[in-house]
Amino acid sequence: MKIIVLAGGEGKRMWPINTDKCLIPFLGKPLLYHNLKKIKENVNGEFVIVSTPQSKAEVTKIAQALNLKFQVVVQKQPKGMADALLSAKEYLEGEVLVVNAEDVVDGSIYVQVSQGGADVVVAGLKVEKYFPGGYIKKGTGNPSTSLRTGRVQGIVEKPGEGNEPSDLVKLVVDYFKDGKKLVEYLQNAKSDKDDLYEIALDKMIADGLDVRFSKYQGNWIPLKYPWQILDITTHLLCKIEQQISPGANVSDKAIITGPVVIEEGVRVFEGAVIKGPVYIGKNCIVGNNTMVRESDLEEGCVTGFNSDITRSYIGVNSWFHTNYVGDSVIEGDFGMGSGAVLANLRLDDHTIRVGEEEKVDSGRHKLGLIAGKGSRVGVNASTMPGARVGSNSLVGPGVVLYGDVKENKKVLVKQELEVTEHTPALTSYDHFRDKLK
């Protein structure tokens, strides 16, 4: 079987995070590594990974590290799912399993769908509330009890709340018995929109191919928005066990509780508190009286004296000193001046909406700063919940930031100082002592 892994997406909604979604590191490894490893453990086949031009070398390195039998194909421009598959058309033959590179699902779904039993099998996730995605329109007839499958009558894209044809959202875990037939339908599909793949599926159904759904009931974490990095972090952290590298230097006056992974070269100083689940990457420093809770600190981070990092994702080579960082997503190479605070909670307890022109409800009651690579926050500055700062931008000292800052910008406070004469009445320490008597 050919396992087609779609890793060439553009990630328009991920701003200000610029790293390719599948290459964002979690627990010291790119997300693609975690997902390829999970697929390899559950199904046998040759991998065909569709990559962006700039990510081909890194994707190749990841596949080699996992000792996969693989090919890397480049999708020259991000023109959608159908174009990605057609970029790899020479490898689409025999049985084919199509998956997204960055969706986090349980390994059982690959087995469940790839068992086949039809010309096409797609995965459907039961949802309790409306999700803006594609919905499976169920056909008539009794579902198979062995595969929990039923016939698919069609796929309805973003029908709007109240118009859903079923309670099953279609995931991108799709099995095709004949890869060459898939290529044929993709090449014949016509549309002005980015829905050629869905049109090809609908045409297969109309032509009488046996297209079925397999009902999936496990975890599913898509990566469409940057705050979903926090969901993936939590999911992966819940799977770790305590492991402290013998190459780490941990003070016996530090407190470490729960599942905590501390990698080689890490230094944990006196008074530090690490409450798992927490991942501390290679060569990180956890300073005196610092607290780290339920967070992922990637390689080379420095948390200086008296900082609090809570439920956050911290990318490589970021540094802090006397700061509060709550529920934040930091891409990497980030710095904060002393006293700066990344607020994460609205006092009216509403969910946090992100963006200035088109506000998107994150669905989260706690969400701090989302910061692109190379950005800075100066001393005593504060960022409000859901604020975003673009790559290489600076939020200056004392700024209270409510909205977004684009890339390569500097935000400073304008202040006027009034300087007048001052003649103090000098008071000796003896005078103060007399007052205390």
For 184-238, the pLDDT digits (tens) are 999 998 888 878 898 999 999 999 999 999 999 899 999 999 999 999 999 999 9
Q: Nearest Cα to 308, choosing from 324, 287, 320, 319? A: 324
How are beta strands 168-176 and 149-157 bridged, if at all?
Answer: unpaired
Exposure pattern of 164-199 as b/e (b: 16+ CB <10 Å)? bebbbbbbbbbbbbbbebbbebbeebeeeeebbbbb
CA angle 133, 139, 140 (to 5 degrees): 150
Q: Where does 218-327 have alpha helices with state H?
A: 228-237
What pLDDT does residue 147 have?
A: 44
pLDDT at 144: 44
What does the pLDDT average to over 380-400? 98
Cα–Cα distances (Å) from 1 to 4, 83, 209, 290, in that order, read 10, 21, 20, 50
153-167 pLDDT, tens digit per residue, is 888 888 888 888 888
Domain with CATH 2.160.10.10 in the chain: 229-411
- Give domain 229-411's CATH number out of 3.40.50.720, 3.30.450.40, 2.160.10.10, 3.10.580.10: 2.160.10.10
**What's 351's DSSP letter?**
P
Enumerate the CATH 3.90.550.10 domain ranges in the chain, comma separated: 2-223
**SS3 call for 352:** coil
Please count the helices (runs of H) and the strands (runs of E) in the chain. Answer: 8, 41
Topology of the domain comprising 2-223 = Spore Coat Polysaccharide Biosynthesis Protein SpsA; Chain A (3.90.550)
Secondary structure (DSSP) of 188-239: H---SSS-HHHHHHHHHHHTT--EEEEEE-S-EE--SSTTHHHHHHHHHHTT
Q: Quickly count: other Cβ atoms within 10 Å of residue 107's Cβ.
A: 16
Q: Say if CB 214 and CB 118 are below 8 A apart.
A: no
Tell which wins on pLDDT, 215 or 314. Answer: 314
pLDDT value for 430: 72
Contact 306, 324 (CB under 8 A): no
- Residue 143: is its pLDDT beyond 50? no
Question: How much is the mean pLDDT over the chain?
Answer: 92
Query: What per-residue confidence (pLDDT) applies to 158?
Result: 83
What is the pLDDT, as a whole number, of residue 146?
38
Sequence-separated (6 or more) residues with CB below 8 Å from residue 172: 6, 81, 98, 99, 100, 103, 123
What is the structure's pLDDT at 426?
Answer: 67
Query: Band of the pLDDT at 183, cuts 50, 70, 90?
Result: very high
Res 358: pLDDT = 81
Task: Give the residue-averaged pLDDT of 338-350.
Answer: 94
> Can you tell me which residue has the tokens 């103060």?
432
- pLDDT above 70 (res 432): no
Residue 151 — pLDDT band, cuts 50, 70, 90?
confident
**Average pLDDT, stretch 83-92?**
94
pLDDT tens track for 23-50: 999 999 999 999 999 999 999 999 999 9
d(CA 81, CA 201): 12
pTM: 0.92
Closest CA to 332 of 348, 347, 312: 312
Instruction: For residue 314, give the amino acid letter.
Output: I
